[in-house]
Structure 1
Amino acid sequence: MTGIRVLSYNVRYANRGDHHDAWHDRRDAVGRLVRFHRPDVAAFQEPLPDQRRDLRERLPEYEFVGRGREADGEGEGCPIAVRSDRWEVVDSDTFWLSETPAEPSTGWDASYPRIATWARVRAVGGDALLVVNTHFDHVSARARRESARLLRERIPEIAATAGDDADGPIPDGPIATVLVGDFNCTPGSDPHRILVGDDPELDDEPAADPADRDGLELRDAAVAADLRHGPETSLTDFARLIDGRRIDHALVSPALSVEAFATLADRDDRGRYPSDHLPILARLSP
C-alpha cells in the first residue's frame, strides 16, 4: 500500500440560525480546503442531504458512500469520500449506535440517532483499507461509552468479512483499519479509553494486549505520529479556537504507521473558519 492521507471533518449541519456562517457561505471554502489537501479518504460528519449533494458537486474526483441516520435515509450522515483515481470502494454500509445497530434506532439515552458508516477500499495494486466514520452523541455520556464499546465489537466483525470480491481476493490477515470522527470527548475520557482498549469498567486483570479481548487494537494517531502539527483543539466558534477541546480523532490499527498528524486551521477568504470544527488529517503508511 502506498502512503494514504485520511481527513476527518465535521462540516456543521446547515443551520439557518448560523446567519453569516450559514452553509451556503461556507460550502465553497469546505470544498476548496479538501481539494487543496487532497486526502485519499475524506470522512465527513453532520452533512444533511443537500450538503452531501453540495460536497459531491465540489469534489467530483471522489466517490461518496453513506446514508443519513433517519429511517428513510435522510437526516445527518457520516459519508466517506474516496479518491477514485487511487482507490476503489469494495464494500460499504452503515449501522446505528444503539442496542439494535442493524435498524434505524436511538440508543442509550442519546439525543438523536447516531451512526457509523464504513467503507472497505482497495488501492491500485490490491492492498485494502477499512475506514470507519462516526459521530457520537453530544449529550449522553452513557451513549458515548456504549457507542465506543459497540464499535470495538463491530469493527473486528466487519474486518473479518474481508474475503473475495468480483475483482479478486483481498489479502489474508488483519485489514489495516482507521476509525475517525467526532467523538464528542477528549483524550483520556471514558469513550476514548474504551476505543484504545483501556475500558475503565473492566476490573479484572488487564490483558497484555487490548486485541486479546476483542481482536481489535487501535491507537490515537495524534499520539503515535512522528510529526504533529496544528492546534491542540479541534473546536471553533467560526471566529476563534475553543481551547482544550480536541474531540475529533483518528485511531489506527498496528498495520499502519503514523507519519504525521495535523489539525488544519485553514481560514476562508473572510478570515473565518469554514466550520465550528477544524478538520484533522493523518498521513499513514503500511
Structure 2
Amino acid sequence: MTGIRVLSYNVRYANRGDHHDAWHDRRDAVARLVRFHRPDVAAFQEPLPGQREDLRERLPAYEFVGRGREAGGEGEGCPIAVRNDRWEVVEGDTFWLSETPGEPSTGWDASHPRIATWARVRARDGDTAVRVINTHFDHVSARARRESARLLRERLPTVATSDGTGGDPDETPPVVLVGDLNCTPGSEPHRILVGDGSEPDEKGSATPVDDDARPLRDAAAAADLRHGPETSLTDFARLIDGRRIDHALVSPELSVEAFATLADRDDRGRYPSDHLPILARLSV
C-alpha cells in the first residue's frame, strides 16, 4: 500500500489592493506552510506568473506542472507541484472549462476563463500511479460551475489514462480531484461530481448521471480522521463560517485516512491567504 498526501491551496492572486496582505508580504508564509506539512502533491489556485515563479523558487523540492489560463500561458493558473524525491511526473497538461476545452476560452457565462490542470504521477519506489486534477470554478456564474462539473465528470475516465511509456492504454489509475469549486457540499456542482445518482436538468427535473463516469467521494466526509475548521474561507484575519468551498474528491480505489483544513497563521498572526489550505492523507 502506498500513501500520498495531497494539499490544495488557493493562494490568492497578487492584488495590489490587498495592502498589508499583498503577495510580497505573504509569499514566504505560504511556502513555509507547504514545506512544513510536506505534501507529496501541492495544488495551487490563482497564482499569476510571478507568483508561480515565487513558489518554484521557494519550493525547490517540487516539480511544477501547469500554465496560465490566458493565451500564451499568462494569467491565473492551477499549477500542480510534485515532490521529486517520492514521485515522478509522467505527464501533465491543462484544459479549459468551456465548450472548447482544447483552447483558451471562456464558457457558460463565466466571468473569466477557467481551467483544470492534471498530472499523472508515479511513485519512485514502485509502480503505483495516481492522477491528480486541480481546478478552480467560476465565482459568479452558477451555470458555469454546473457545466464545469459535468465536463470534469465526463473527462475523468480518459484524463491521463496512458502513462506514455508503452504501458496498458486502458489502465485507469485512481484520481484525486482538488480545487476551489466555489460551492459548498451538497450544492449542484458538488452533487454532479460525487455522482449521487441524479442531477437536475435545465427545467429542474432529475436526470440520471452518466453511468460511465467515474464516481468520486468527498474526502472530508470519507475520512477516518477529520481535523480543523468546517470552513475554508478567511478575510485574512478571521474565518468566514460555513464556507467550505475548497474540496478534495477521490475515486473508490483510494482510502482516505485523514482530512484536514489547515488553520496555520503566519508570524504576523494572520492567515497567509483568504483561503485555508486543505490536506488529504490517502493510500492506494
Normalising by the residue count of structure 1, what TM-score does the alignment of the two structures yield? 0.94
| Contact persistence 1:64–1:79 (CA under 8 A) | yes
CA distance in 2, matches of 1:170, 1:134: 27
Paired residue for 2:233? 235
CA distance in 2, matches of 1:76, 1:201: 31
CA distance in 2, matches of 1:155, 1:278: 26
Distance 1:41 1:237, change over 3 A: same
Distance 1:236 1:244, change over 3 A: same
For residues 92-103 of structure 1, what are the structure 2 equivalents within 5 Å?
92-103=92-103
Q: CA deviation at 1:22?
A: 0.2
| Contact persistence 1:126–1:170 (CA under 8 A) | no
CA distance in 2, matches of 1:88, 1:116: 20
CA distance in 2, matches of 1:230, 1:270: 20
Q: CA deviation at 1:213?
A: 1.1
CA distance in 1, matches of 2:262, 2:141: 28
Number of residue pairs aligned between Structure 1 and Structure 2: 279
Q: Which amino acid aligns with 1:229?
A: H
CA distance in 2, matches of 1:132, 1:26: 25
Q: Which amino acid aligns with 1:54?
A: D
Paired residue for 1:177? 175
Normalising by the residue count of structure 2, what TM-score does the alignment of the two structures yield? 0.95
Paired residue for 1:214? 212
CA distance in 1, matches of 2:70, 2:275: 23
**Helix, strand or coil for the counterpart of 2:71?**
coil
Paired residue for 1:128? 129
Q: CA deviation at 1:169?
A: 2.9
Distance 1:27 1:163, change over 3 A: closer
Paired residue for 1:73? 73
CA distance in 1, matches of 2:193, 2:272: 29
Q: Which amino acid aligns with 2:174?
A: A
Q: Which amino acid aligns with 2:79?
A: P
1:24-55, CA deviations, whole angstroms, 9 ceiling, x for partnerless residues?
00000000000000000000000000000000
For residues 138-217 of structure 1, what are the structure 2 equivalents within 5 Å?
138-159=139-160, 161-165=161-165, 169=167, 173-198=171-196, 199-201=198-200, 206=208, 213-217=211-215
5+ long unaligned stretches in structure 2: none
| Contact persistence 1:164–1:170 (CA under 8 A) | no
| Contact persistence 2:118–2:133 (CA under 8 A) | yes
| Contact persistence 1:226–1:260 (CA under 8 A) | yes
For residues 17-166 of structure 1, what are the structure 2 equivalents within 5 Å?
17-124=17-124, 125-159=126-160, 161-165=161-165
Paired residue for 2:5? 5
**Helix, strand or coil for the counterpart of 1:214?**
coil
| Contact persistence 2:199–2:207 (CA under 8 A) | no
Q: CA deviation at 1:215?
A: 3.2
CA distance in 2, matches of 1:236, 1:11: 12
Q: CA deviation at 1:205?
A: 7.4
Cα RMSD over matched residues? 1.5
5+ long unaligned stretches in structure 1: none
Paired residue for 2:279? 281
Q: Which amino acid aligns with 2:192?
A: I
How high is the sequence identity, in percent, across the aligned residues? 83
| Contact persistence 1:162–1:175 (CA under 8 A) | no
**Helix, strand or coil for the counterpart of 1:246?**
coil
Structure 1: 4+ residue segments shifted above 6 A: none
